[in-house]
Amino acid sequence: MQLGDIYDFFVREGVKTDPRERSLIKAKLRKSRREFQKVEKTRKKFFDKESFANPFADTRILFGKPQTPIHTILVGIDIEPAELLLADRLRQAGEPIDLVLAHHPEGVALAGLDEVMDLQTEVLARLGIRSEIAKDLMERRIKEVGRRLHAGNHNRSVDAARLLNIPYLCCHTPADNHVTGYLATLMKRSRPKRLKDIIDLLSQEPEYQDAMRCKAGPRILIGKPADAPGRICVDMTGGTEGSKEIFGRLSQLGIGTLLGMHLSDEHFNKIKDEHIHVIMAGHIASDNLGMNLLLDKLEKKVDLKIIECSGFRRYRRYGTHSR
């Protein structure tokens, strides 16, 4: 399988597991093409043409030719210059690494992270929040994230990959879509009666077991183990944390428990008075789960050697190839 094939596969599977209606994703792609047509001729060369077919701005080939054959992948949650130097050192030691795969975005994918946050607007609307309210609240948060990202040194890691001549790919929202769907189905099927039951369900997954051994496993942030969870909202996709002003609306809609990856202090201080229980499954553990579900699908198609680094642990669920 070639680098471009893996990239296209991740995008397709991300779309299949996306919580939005397929028509909304197609509309997003059409909008990108229309925007390209309106851009001045002298600026068209700067337009992100990947957005014509890929609705996830945080998932990109960061370096490398799409036709590069891939057999061995070094996979990490965060891939920065240190991990790329590690890949180069492993190559020198005889490990034929063809690709370094990151979960968290870098380069152009990091600079465009705010562009995937419109996904959260649609998710909020499906929960029952009026579309115009969801859009207004999220637009403010999206602009905030965009301002913060704009000042970053986005290409630091990409430059390292280029100098070392190591193909480099990141896959963010497609993996997060997988963990969101997986846990939402798990909660719906299992119908936990107590917050403790949610923790117990998560603790059966190998990624969360690994995190528990490292003291970073699932925990109840707001609520008591014996509390009834009520209606559970699984919130693990859409780039990064959404609007902190939305929690009051969720409470009014009858959301009893928010199950997420992580929660900043600013967001925590907003939600703690809204009578919503909060369970944090764990950031890196949840990222591991999403990447593993996606790699399970990929390994059903092609025999790959996966090398773990940077907080990633490979756990297979569906009888996939293994070396």
Block means of pLDDT (10 residues each) for the chain, 323 residues, are 98 96 93 92 92 96 98 98 98 97 97 89 85 86 88 95 98 96 96 98 98 96 96 85 81 91 87 91 97 97 96 84 38
pTM of the shown model: 0.94
Same domain, 153 and 58: yes
The verdict on 74 and 212 lying in the same domain is no
Both 133 and 263 in a single domain? no
Q: Which pLDDT value is given to residue 232? A: 95
Quickly tell me which residue has 């909060």 as its tokens.
278
Describe the crossing of helices 156-164 and 81-92 by its angle, rounded to 10 degrees. 20
Q: Are residues 292 and 159 in the same domain?
A: yes
Q: Are residues 273 and 155 in the same domain?
A: no
CA angle, corner 61, sides to 320 and 119, nearest 5? 85
State the pairing for strand pair 99-102/72-76: parallel
Which residue's entry shows tokens 């569906």? 318
Q: Are residues 129 and 13 in the same domain?
A: yes
Beta pairing, strands 60-63 & 305-309: unpaired
pLDDT the model gives residue 319: 55
The answer to whether residues 141 and 226 belong to one domain is: no
- The 3-state DSSP class for residue 160 equals helix
Please give the tally of structural domains in the chain.
2
Contact 133, 120 (CB under 8 A): no
Q: Comparing C-alpha atoms, which of 172, 115, 191 is closest to residue 286? A: 172
Same domain (yes/no): 122, 219: no
Rg (CA), the chain: 20
Per the listing, tokens 């997003």 go with: 28
Q: Is residue 119 part of a domain?
A: yes
Range of the domain at 16: 3-175+286-309
Whether the CB-CB separation of 158 and 62 falls below 8 Å is answered with yes
Which backbone phi and psi does 303 adopt, to 5 degrees? -85, 115
Q: Answer yes or no: are the C-beta atoms of 139 and 85 closer than 8 Å.
A: no
Long-range contacts of 199-208, Cβ-Cβ distance < 8 Å, separation of 24 or more: 199/225, 199/279, 202/281, 205/289, 206/313, 206/315, 207/285, 207/286, 207/288, 207/289, 207/292, 207/313, 207/315, 208/281, 208/282, 208/285, 208/289
Q: Are residues 136 and 37 in the same domain?
A: yes
219 in the same domain as 165 = no
